[in-house]
Structure 1
Amino acid sequence: MKKFTDLITLQANHKQQVVFLMVVISMLYFYNFYVNDIWTPNESFYAESVREMFESGNFLDIKYNYEPRYNKPPLTYWLIAVSSYIFGLNEFGIRLPIVLLTIGSVWLTYLLGKRLYGEKGGIYSLMIMAVGVQLMAVKQYASPEIPLTFFFTLTLYWFIKGYQESRTKYYYLSYVALGLTVLTKGYPYIVVIAGIIGLFILIDSNFNVRTTLKKASQIKLHFGIPIVLFIGMSWVAYMYLTYGENFWEIFQRETFDRAFTRNEKSLRPFFYIEVISWTILPYSLAFFIVLVHYISSPKKIKSEIAFPFAWFIVMFLIFTAAKGKIPTYFIQAHPAMALIITAALVNIAPKKTFFSKALKVSFYLPAVLILAISFFTTYFLSLPLIWYLVPVFFTIITFVITKTKSAKSIDNQISIPFYAIFGVYILVAAYLKPIEKYRPYSEIGEVINERENIDSRIPILIEKTLIHNIPFYAERRAIRDQTPTQINSNQGKTLALVRAESLDYLSGFKSLWSGMIYDFPSESQFAKFVKACIDAENGDYSKFAEYHLIFKE
C-alpha cells in the first residue's frame, strides 16, 4: 500500500514514478479509442483518403471522395496508411498512430521539463501536458494536429539539446524534425519555429544583437535549411510539377493565406486567451497566475522561462494575428505552457507569499469543481450505477494525497487536479460506446457492401448535405446535395440515402435500411452531440433525422 501511495503522491524514485505515470496515462489514452465509427467531418477526410490510396495504389496524389485534396501535406495520411497496412483499414488502424504520437508528445514534454528543470520538473511537465482537455479531445480521432504537435515539439527538443550541449548533431536532428513538421502541416511552421528560436536566442543574449547573431551562427542554417526544404517541400514540388496552379492555389490558401493573412473578422485579440482558459484544464487558472507573475518580474523570464516563454509568446502573437482561428491550432503551445507552470513550481520560494497562496488555490479550486463534475457526469450520461465507483475512487485518491505527510505541498498541487480530471475522462470514454447506437455509418456500409448486385462503381446519392464518412463505409463515391427529383430521374441502377419525408416522391426504389442520423453539420462539437444523444435517450429526436438507404435496379 505504501508503494502505491508513494506513486500517487510523487514520492517514488524517479524511474518508477515516470514508468507508473506513463503506463497510467497510456491506459487512459487507449481506453475505447477505437470503438466509434469514423467521426464526421474531419476524421473522414483522412480515413477515406487513405482508403482511396489503397484502392488506387497511389500514395502521392491525395484524393477524398475521388476528387483531388490538395489542402494538407501528406505525412499524416502516410502514417495512417502504414498503420492501416499492418492492423487493417479500420478504426483501430486509422487512430493508432494518433494515440501513439500523443503519448510521444507527452514524453517529449517530460524530456524538456527534465532538461530545463530537473527530474521533478519532468514529472510536473508530463502530468500537466497529459490531461489537457484539448489534447484529450484531439487524440481521439485521426487528424494532423497530434502529428504536428509531436514533430513540432521534437524539433524544439532537439534544438534546445543542441543549444545547451553545443553539439551539432542535435541541430541536424532538429532540422529533420522540422522538415517532418512541414510535411505534416505546411511551410508556415518554418516561420513559427524560426520565430521561437530567434526570440529565445535574443532573450538569452540579453537582447544584444551581436551576441544573438554569433549564437545564431552556431545552429548551421546553411546546412539546415536545405534539409528542411528537401524533406518538407519535396511533396509540394512534386504536386506543383504534376498539377501546376490547380494545386498551388488551393495549397497556398490552406497554408500561408490561412496562417498569415487577416481581415477585419480575424481581429479578435482575446480569442486564444479564451482558448487557454479551457484548453489546458485543469491547469488553466494556474497558467494565467504564473504568466502574470513572470510578466511582472521580467528578470525571471530570462533566468527561468526564456525558452518556453519564447515558444508561447511567438505562437500567441502569430496565431492571434492570423486570419484562421481555431482552438486546435494552439495545441502546439501546450508543452510551452506546461513548462512555464513547471518553472514557477520548481523555483517558487519556500516562504508563503501572495503568489504561492494564489497558485495553490489555482490548483485546488479546479480540482474540487472537477470532482463534483465527475459525479454529475455519471448522472448526466445515464451510466449504470456501478460507474459511480470511478468518481468515488478518485475522490479517495485525492483525500489520501492531502493526508499523506510525506508528500510535498507542490507535489500535491500537481497531483490533485491530475487525478480529479482523470476520473471524468474515464467516464466520458465509457460513454463513447453507448453513443454508437446514434452513429449507424458502418452499419449502412455493411448493408451496401454485402449485396452483390450493388457494384462499387455505383455512387451513393445523398439528399441535402454530404455525410462525410459515408464514402469510407460505403466504399464508393458520394454525390451530395441531391434532391428527390434528381434521384428519381437518375438513369440505371441508383443507390441513395434520403430523408424519410422524401420517400413519397420516389418511385421504383426498395428500402434497404432505415435509421436516425445526427442532423447537424458536425459531430466535432462533441458536447452538443452528446447532449443530442442524451435527449434522444429520453425520446427527443429533434437533433436527428430519419434516413432511408434505398436502391433501384
Structure 2
Amino acid sequence: MRAKYFMAVNRNGVYTSVIMLLAVLLYFSYLGKTPIYILDEAKNAQCAREMFDRSDWVVPTFNQELRTDKPPFHYYCMMTAFKLFGVNEFSARFFSAIFGLLTLLITYYFVRKHLGQKKAFMAVLVLLSSLHFTFEMRLAVPDPYLIFLLSACLFSIFTFIQTEKNKFLWFTYIAMGLGILCKGPLAVLLPGLIVFVYLIVTKDLSFKRILSFKPLLGLFVVLIISLPWYLAVDKATNGAWVKGFLLNHNVHRFTDVKEGHGGFFGLTTLYILIGFLPFSVFIVQIIKKSISNWANPFIKFSVVTVLTFWLFFTVSDTQLPNYPMPAYPFMALLIGNYLFDVISGIAKGSFQIPLMVYLIITLVLPMGIYLALKNEPPLARFTYLAIPFLVLPISACITRLLWSRNQIMGIAVMSGAFILTSFIFFSFIYPKVYSQNPVVKSLGLIQTGRPVVAFKKYNPGYNFYLNHPIKRFTDVDSLRRFIELHPNCVLITREGTLADLKSIKNIQIVFSGKDLFEKPVTVLLTTTASYETNNHSN
C-alpha cells in the first residue's frame, strides 16, 4: 500500500513538473520581445501605466481620459509587475503568463480529483497544444485572469456539490468576487446560470439545495471583495465609470456589435474548433464519448459548462475569439477524456477521416501563412517565416504512419508538433513580424519635446511608448488653430482622413505605414518649416 502511494506521488510530481516546464517554455519565453501594438494590449497596458504613474488604485484612464472598458484587477497586476520589473512589455504581460500557468495547474488538480491522474495530464496537454490558448496567455489583456478565475469558480462549485466541503464554497465565492473586479457581473451571471442548468439536468434543483450554497454568506464574501472599489470609482467619477461600464461594455456588447466585432451565427463554433487544433479534428468522436459518459457527474457538468458558454456567446451580437475561452479547461478535459480512451484501446472505429482532415489543415496552414505574408506589403520580404510551419504537415504524415501501430506516439507527435510550433512562433516569428508595425517604425521620427497630437483615430501603441497624453482632435478648425500655435508639432492620423486636412497649409507626410493585417494606414505629418529645420539640423 505504501509503495503504491509513493509511486502515485512520484508520478504526480513528474506530471506537475512537465506541465510547469512546458508552461514556462510557452508562456514566458521572449515574453517582452513583441512590441505593444495590438489595440487591446496597448490600451490596457497604458491604462495600467497611467494609474501606476499617479499611484492611483481607483480611476482607470487612457490618454488621461476615463476608461470604462474593464474593472481594475488586471491593471493592479500590471502595476505590481511595473513595480517589480519596470515599465516594459514583459511587465505588462507577466501576470497573464502567471495566470496561464495557474489555469493549467488547477485544471490538472481538479480533473485528477474527479477523473484520475492520466486524464488530468491529457487535459492539460490539450491546453498546452492549443495555439489560441497560448496566444491569449501572452497578451496584456484581462482574459487570462478571467479564464483562471471562472475556471477556479466552476471547478470549486462542482467539487462542493459532490463533496459538501465548505472550503470549496469559499474558493467559489472568492473567485467570483475577484472575477467581478476582473470583468464585472459576467463573473456571477455565467457561473450562476451553469449551476442552475446543471441542477435542473441532474434533477437536484430545490430550495434545500439552494440553501446548501449559503447564498447570504456568498453574497457577503463577493461584496466584501468587489464592492469597495466600485463604490470608490463611482464616487470619484460621479457615477460616470459605473454607467459607462454597465451599459456600454456589458448590455450593449451583448445586444449590439461593438467596435466592428460582429460576425455570422457560427463564428463562436469556428473559434472553438480552431482554438482546439489539433485535437478538434476528433470533435465527432469527442461528442459521442461525452454522451456515452453522461452518467459521470463531472463530464455532465463540463458539457453543461461548454454548451452554456457556446450558446451565450453564439447569440451575442459582439463576437470575439476570447469570449468562450473560460470554457476551454472544460472542453480540454472532455477531449482528454476521449484521448485517454484512444491510448487505452477503448475507443474503437475508424480514425481515417479525422486524420485526413488533420493532414489537410496542416498542409493548408503553411500555405495560408505564406500568402498572408506575401500579400501584406510591410511583410512581403518575410515569406520565409512560413517555413517552420512545415513541422505541422510533416507531423501529420508521421501521425498517420504511427497511428495503427502506436496511438500513444501518434497523439504525442500531434501535441509535440503544435507545442514546438507555438514556441517557435511566439518566441521568434511573432516578434519579428510585429516589429514591422507602423508605431515602432515611426517612433524615431518623433523628437522628444515636440507636441504630438492626433486627428480622429490613431494607434494607441503611441501612448505606451511616448508615455504622455496625445491631444486628439475631431474637427479640422480646432486642429488648424493648434498647429498655428505649435508649428513644430507631430500629427498622427490615418490615410483616410487626409482629404479632411487639405485646408491646413504647409503640412506634409513624413511617414506612412500600413497597419499589419488591417486596412488602415497610419500617417505622420508635420509642418514643412518644422520638417526642413529638422532635416537641416540633422
Among 83, 99, 107, the alignment partner of 2:97 is 99
Gaps of 5+ in 2: 1-9, 374-380, 534-538
Instruction: Give the distance between the partners of 1:255 and 1:392, measured in 2 at CA.
Output: 41
Deviates more, 1:411-420 or 1:218-227: 411-420
* Partner residue in 2 for 1:20: 18
Instruction: Give the distance between the partners of 2:263 and 2:28, measured in 1 at CA.
Output: 39
Instruction: Give how far 1:290 is off.
Output: 1.8
* Partner residue in 2 for 1:476: 468
* Partner residue in 1 for 2:130: 132
* Partner residue in 1 for 2:181: 183
Query: What is the letter of the counterpart of residue 524 of structure 2?
Result: Y
Pairing 1:97-176 to 2, within 5 Å after superposition = 97-176=95-174
Instruction: Give how far 1:308 is off.
Output: 0.7
Among 282, 286, 291, the alignment partner of 2:282 is 286
Instruction: Give the distance between the partners of 1:202 and 1:112, measured in 2 at CA.
Output: 23
Instruction: Give the distance between the partners of 1:438 and 1:208, measured in 2 at CA.
Output: 56
Query: What is the letter of the counterpart of residue 344 of structure 1?
Result: Y
Gaps of 5+ in 1: 1-11, 533-542
Asked whether the equivalents of residues 26 and 134 of structure 2 are also in contact (C-alpha less than 8 Å), the reply is: no
Pairing 1:234-253 to 2, within 5 Å after superposition = 234-253=228-247
Q: Check 1:320–1:60 CA distance in 2 against 1; reply closer, same or farther (3 A cut).
A: same
Instruction: Give how far 1:362 is off.
Output: 6.7
* Partner residue in 1 for 2:423: 426
Query: Deviation per CA, 1:371-423, whole angstroms, max 9, x where unpaired?
Result: 54576588666669799578559947984997599x963x3454232122224
Q: Check 1:367–1:404 CA distance in 2 against 1; reply closer, same or farther (3 A cut).
A: closer
Asked whether the equivalents of residues 362 and 396 of structure 2 are also in contact (C-alpha less than 8 Å), the reply is: no
- Pairs aligned (count): 503
Instruction: Give how far 1:269 is off.
Output: 4.9
Instruction: Give how far 1:30 is off.
Output: 2.2
DSSP 3-state at the match of 1:462: strand
* Partner residue in 2 for 1:416: 413
Among 324, 338, 341, the alignment partner of 2:318 is 324
* Partner residue in 1 for 2:60: 62
Instruction: Give how far 1:135 is off.
Output: 1.7
Instruction: Give the distance between the partners of 2:51 and 2:231, measured in 1 at CA.
Output: 20
Q: Check 1:483–1:317 CA distance in 2 against 1; reply closer, same or farther (3 A cut).
A: closer
Instruction: Give the distance between the partners of 2:215 and 2:227, measured in 1 at CA.
Output: 17
Residue 227 of structure 1 pairs with residue 236 of structure 2:
no
DSSP 3-state at the match of 2:78: helix
DSSP 3-state at the match of 1:313: helix
Instruction: Give the distance between the partners of 1:362 and 1:416, measured in 2 at CA.
Output: 18
Q: Check 1:517–1:104 CA distance in 2 against 1; reply closer, same or farther (3 A cut).
A: farther
Query: What is the letter of the counterpart of residue 281 of structure 2?
Result: L
* Partner residue in 2 for 1:540: none
Asked whether the equivalents of residues 286 and 363 of structure 1 are also in contact (C-alpha less than 8 Å), the reply is: yes
Sequence identity, in percent? Answer: 17
Query: What is the letter of the counterpart of residue 285 of structure 2?
Result: I
Asked whether the equivalents of residues 278 and 284 of structure 1 are also in contact (C-alpha less than 8 Å), the reply is: yes
Instruction: Give the distance between the partners of 1:84 and 1:514, measured in 2 at CA.
Output: 33
Instruction: Give how far 1:106 is off.
Output: 1.9
Instruction: Give the distance between the partners of 1:270 and 1:158, measured in 2 at CA.
Output: 31
Among 333, 349, 355, the alignment partner of 1:364 is 355
Query: What is the letter of the counterpart of residue 39 of structure 1?
Result: Y
Instruction: Give the distance between the partners of 1:435 and 1:266, measured in 2 at CA.
Output: 26
Q: Check 1:177–1:390 CA distance in 2 against 1; reply closer, same or farther (3 A cut).
A: same
Query: What is the letter of the counterpart of residue 87 of structure 1?
Result: F
* Partner residue in 2 for 1:336: 330
* Partner residue in 2 for 1:547: 524
Among 293, 303, 308, the alignment partner of 2:302 is 308
Q: Check 1:234–1:317 CA distance in 2 against 1; reply closer, same or farther (3 A cut).
A: farther
Query: Deviation per CA, 1:282-309, whole angstroms, max 9, x where unpaired?
Result: 22232343224544x5x72545612211
Q: Check 1:185–1:304 CA distance in 2 against 1; reply closer, same or farther (3 A cut).
A: closer
Q: Check 1:308–1:362 CA distance in 2 against 1; reply closer, same or farther (3 A cut).
A: farther
Q: Check 1:20–1:383 CA distance in 2 against 1; reply closer, same or farther (3 A cut).
A: farther
Instruction: Give the distance between the partners of 2:394 and 2:20, measured in 1 at CA.
Output: 21
Instruction: Give how far 1:137 is off.
Output: 2.8
Query: What is the letter of the counterpart of residue 436 of structure 2?
Result: Y
Deviates more, 1:34-43 or 1:249-258: 249-258
Instruction: Give the distance between the partners of 2:69 and 2:208, measured in 1 at CA.
Output: 39
Among 206, 211, 233, the alignment partner of 1:217 is 211
DSSP 3-state at the match of 1:335: helix
Query: Deviation per CA, 1:498-535, whole angstroms, max 9, x where unpaired?
Result: 579789976677x9x9444334xxx6xxxx35xx9xxx
- For the aligned residue pairs, the C-alpha RMSD in angstroms reads 3.8
Asked whether the equivalents of residues 375 and 388 of structure 1 are also in contact (C-alpha less than 8 Å), the reply is: yes
Instruction: Give the distance between the partners of 2:305 and 2:461, measured in 1 at CA.
Output: 36
Pairing 1:79-94 to 2, within 5 Å after superposition = 79-94=77-92
Residue 207 of structure 1 pairs with residue 198 of structure 2:
no
Asked whether the equivalents of residues 188 and 259 of structure 1 are also in contact (C-alpha less than 8 Å), the reply is: no
Query: Deviation per CA, 1:180-237, whole angstroms, max 9, x where unpaired?
Result: 111100013212111222333444xx41444xx4444333222111111221232222
Q: Check 1:345–1:400 CA distance in 2 against 1; reply closer, same or farther (3 A cut).
A: closer
* Partner residue in 1 for 2:457: 465
Asked whether the equivalents of residues 392 and 417 of structure 2 are also in contact (C-alpha less than 8 Å), the reply is: no
Asked whether the equivalents of residues 39 and 141 of structure 1 are also in contact (C-alpha less than 8 Å), the reply is: no
DSSP 3-state at the match of 2:349: helix
Instruction: Give how far 1:178 is off.
Output: 1.1
Asked whether the equivalents of residues 444 and 474 of structure 1 are also in contact (C-alpha less than 8 Å), the reply is: no
Query: What is the letter of the counterpart of residue 492 of structure 1?
Result: L
Instruction: Give how far 1:17 is off.
Output: 3.8
Pairing 1:455-534 to 2, within 5 Å after superposition = 458=451, 460-480=452-472, 486-490=478-482, 491-493=484-486, 495-498=489-492, 514-519=510-515, 528=517
Q: Check 1:113–1:415 CA distance in 2 against 1; reply closer, same or farther (3 A cut).
A: farther
DSSP 3-state at the match of 2:322: helix
Asked whether the equivalents of residues 461 and 482 of structure 1 are also in contact (C-alpha less than 8 Å), the reply is: no
Q: Check 1:426–1:179 CA distance in 2 against 1; reply closer, same or farther (3 A cut).
A: same
Query: What is the letter of the counterpart of residue 368 of structure 1?
Result: L
DSSP 3-state at the match of 1:70: coil
DSSP 3-state at the match of 1:106: helix
Instruction: Give the distance between the partners of 1:49 and 1:276, measured in 2 at CA.
Output: 30
Query: Deviation per CA, 1:48-107, whole angstroms, max 9, x where unpaired?
Result: 112211232222111111111122111011111111111111101111111111122122
Asked whether the equivalents of residues 154 and 174 of structure 1 are also in contact (C-alpha less than 8 Å), the reply is: yes
Asked whether the equivalents of residues 364 and 416 of structure 1 are also in contact (C-alpha less than 8 Å), the reply is: no
Asked whether the equivalents of residues 359 and 397 of structure 2 are also in contact (C-alpha less than 8 Å), the reply is: no
Asked whether the equivalents of residues 41 and 469 of structure 1 are also in contact (C-alpha less than 8 Å), the reply is: yes
Query: What is the letter of the counterpart of residue 49 of structure 1?
Result: C
Instruction: Give the distance between the partners of 1:208 and 1:434, measured in 2 at CA.
Output: 54
